Amino acid sequence: MPTVLDFDELDVLASTLYRETENLPAEERKKRICDELEDILLYCYVFGINRVHESAELTEEERAKYQPSGEAIYDTLYMPVDGEDFRQRVSRRIDEGTLGEYELQRIVETDGHRVSETGAYETAELVSYETGMQFEKVWETMRDPRVRDTHDYLQSMRVGLDEFFVTYNGNKTKFPGEFGIAEEDCNCRCWCEYQPKKK
């Protein structure tokens, strides 16, 4: 089971969606793109849940039991970033005529990443709360030249589940994609590993 979202796959999904809807009337296009985006983001959230279930080595029964509620999941999907949720962002760009293929890819990657990392964090919190299992978080990067310096600095940093990762410039977050600062979050591909603490 991979620990990292397949960003190339997300790019392909975004491109296909872009091309398939390119000639639709604006309102129809908004609906098609946003409905499909919702499915993609849901997939990303579930990816995050599964990652934590896997590292906590839960049984099938426990996995079924320790899932964030549908409400929590949709709150995450529709969390506004810079004042807009993904539907508002896509709709505005279509109205303005500024939704290019690249922009759609960036929305899918950035939101997909945020949702997947939030899903993992919320699942770890839930499992910890329900079972008493203690987790540590470890920051991981893709370890390639595209990793920004502030995240390279966080590579392999280990903190408690509820603690913050703090970069050298003082920005802090509980997990990747959650700084709330575009220059830290946009196109970030880092992820958190949730390791059960050895007793």
Q: Which residues lie near Zn ion (CB under 5 A)? A: 151, 188, 190
Q: Nearer Cβ to Zn ion, position 57 or 149? A: 149
Q: Nearer Cβ to Zn ion, position 51 or 151? A: 151
Q: How far is the CB of 132 from Zn ion (least distance, A)?
A: 31
Report the C-alpha gap between 120 and 194 in whole angstroms: 8
Q: Nearer Cβ to Zn ion, position 2 or 132? A: 2
Q: What is the DSSP letter of 154?
A: T
Q: How far is the CB of 5 from Zn ion (least distance, A)?
A: 12
Q: How far is the CB of 177 from Zn ion (least distance, A)?
A: 8
**The one-letter amino acid at 192:** C
H-assigned helices in 57-169: 60-65, 70-77, 86-96, 101-131, 149-152
Report the C-alpha gap between 107 and 10 in whole angstroms: 10
Q: Kindly report the CA angle at 44 between 176 and 149, in degrees rounded to 5?
A: 25
Burial 54-71 (b: 16+ CB within 10 A, else e): ebbebeeeebeebbbeee
Q: How far is the CB of 149 from Zn ion (least distance, A)?
A: 10
Q: Nearer Cβ to Zn ion, position 99 or 190? A: 190
Q: Which of 178, 196, 26 is nearest to 127 (CA)?
A: 196
Q: Nearer Cβ to Zn ion, position 41 or 190? A: 190
Q: How far is the CB of 28 from Zn ion (least distance, A)?
A: 35
Q: What is the DSSP letter of 144?
A: S
